[in-house]
Amino acid sequence: MKILFITLILGSALYSLIISLDLIMGTKVFQLPQKELNPFQVMEPAEYALLFLVAFFLLIKVVVKFLKKKKGTGTS
């Protein structure tokens, strides 16, 4: 669970940094979501598959660690 939480915090911090830099460069506020989501609009299907595969493995890893921790504390 810590891994997922840290990943979300780091992702949010980096996304905030990108938005801040865009605002400093003079990008209009209403253009920010379009500009930030643009890399996802030009991705190939294979890149989407790879992105979701990595996210899926991360999720599985977190779930397995949680189940092992829960199983270990339940038997003690």
pLDDT-derived band at 58, boundaries 50, 70, 90: very high
Domains of the chain by residue range: 1-42, 43-76
Q: What is the mean pLDDT of residues 56-72?
A: 92
Q: What is the pTM of this model?
A: 0.50
Please check the confidence at residue 76 and state whether its pLDDT lies above 80. Answer: no
Report helix, strand or coil for 26.
coil
Note the pLDDT tens digit of each residue in 9-36: 999 999 899 889 989 999 888 888 888 7
What is the identity of the amino acid at 22? D
Region of 44 (left: φ > 0; alpha: ψ -120 to 50; beta: rest) is beta
